[in-house]
Structures are given as C-alpha cells and as structure tokens.
C-alpha cells in the first residue's frame, strides 16, 4: 500500500484545521485555539479530506478501481453530513436553547446551553473541496 493514500488526506485535514485558527477574525485567546477541534467554519476540513482521498485514490489506482468508487460514495456521504445533517442539529440546538430561556429562572439553569454551530455553509463546503484538490496536488508534487 502506498503510504501517500493515508498520509495525504490526513495532512490536508490537519492543514485546513490549522488554517481555521490562523484566519479566524478575533483575538488570540483560548477560544481561538479551541477552533482547531470545532465543527463548522471556513473551509470544511471534512470535505477537503474526503476530496483528497478521492483524488489520491484516483491518482494512484485510476477512476475505474473499486476503491475509487467507494471513496466517492464516502465523500458524498461525508459532504452531505457536513452540510445538511449538522446544520439541522445546530438549528435544533438553537430552538432548544430558546425554549430553555423561556423557563423560570430556577429551572433554566438546570439545562446546559447547547451548541448551535455545527454545519457548514455551501461556500465553506465548496472551498473545502477546492482546497482539498489543490493541496493534494501540491503534496503529490512534494512527495
């Protein structure tokens, strides 16, 4: 097995996550550093990683290989999840938080505040796919 099949997508995902910290518009504080492990944000590292996997498999084994087909299906599922499913979870979190705020004060503090930002916007997914392809290409040239 080519080690690049494993390493290139992981490097792409890592670089994207680090870029979220570097390009975040805000103060250099703990919240900013925690973004390296957060969901959502520009660009989508999940989309970049699975796109890199598809690109890498296509490069080494061709688009007719069964592994390429599996990677494409995995990419579609992952991108759909990053875009749609996690957005729905965020909307549910916002609605639940609003309902909790309407409770009497003595009951309101019994419930945790739920996260509301999990999914990606369309542009974040598209940029993730594009950067995934570009970084994969550059890493091929490097290795």
45 located within any domain: yes
> Considering only CA atoms, which of 38, 15, 8, 6 is closest in space to residue 128?
15
Residue 39 has pLDDT above 80, yes or no: no
pLDDT of residue 54: 96
Residue 74 lies in a domain: yes
Q: Rounded to an integer, what is the distance from CA 32 to the centroid of its chain?
A: 17
Q: What is the pLDDT of residue 49?
A: 92
Identify the burial level of 44 via C-beta atoms within 10 angstroms of its C-beta, where 0-12 means exposed, 13-18 middle and 19 or more buried: buried
Residue 69 reports pLDDT greater than 90: yes
Give the structural domain span for 44. Answer: 3-83+125-142
Q: Please give the tally of structural domains in the chain.
A: 1
114 assigned to some structural domain:
no
The string of DSSP codes covering 59-101 is HHH-TTSHHHHHHHHHHHHHHHIIIIIHHHHHHHHHHHHHHHH
Domain-located, residue 15: yes
Tell me, yes or no, whether 14 lies in a domain.
yes
Q: In this model, does residue 130 exceed pLDDT 80?
A: yes
pTM for the model = 0.76
Does 117 map to a domain?
no
- pLDDT tens figures, 87-129: 777 778 888 888 888 878 777 777 887 776 766 777 888 888 9
């Amino acid at each position: 097995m080519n080690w690049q099949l494993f390493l290139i997508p992981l490097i792409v995902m890592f670089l994207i996550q680090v870029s979220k910290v570097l390009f975040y518009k805000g103060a250099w504080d703990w919240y900013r550093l925690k973004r390296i492990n957060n969901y959502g944000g520009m660009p989508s590292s999940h989309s970049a990683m699975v796109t890199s996997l598809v690109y890498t498999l296509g490069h080494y084994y061709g688009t007719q290989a069964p592994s390429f087909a599996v990677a494409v299906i995995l990419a579609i599922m992952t991108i759909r999840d990053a875009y749609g499913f996690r957005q729905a979870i965020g909307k549910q979190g916002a609605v639940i938080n609003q309902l909790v705020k309407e409770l009497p004060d003595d009951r309101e503090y019994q419930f945790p505040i739920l996260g509301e930002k999990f999914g990606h916007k369309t542009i974040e997914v598209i940029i993730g796919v594009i950067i995934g392809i570009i970084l994969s290409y550059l890493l091929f040239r490097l290795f």
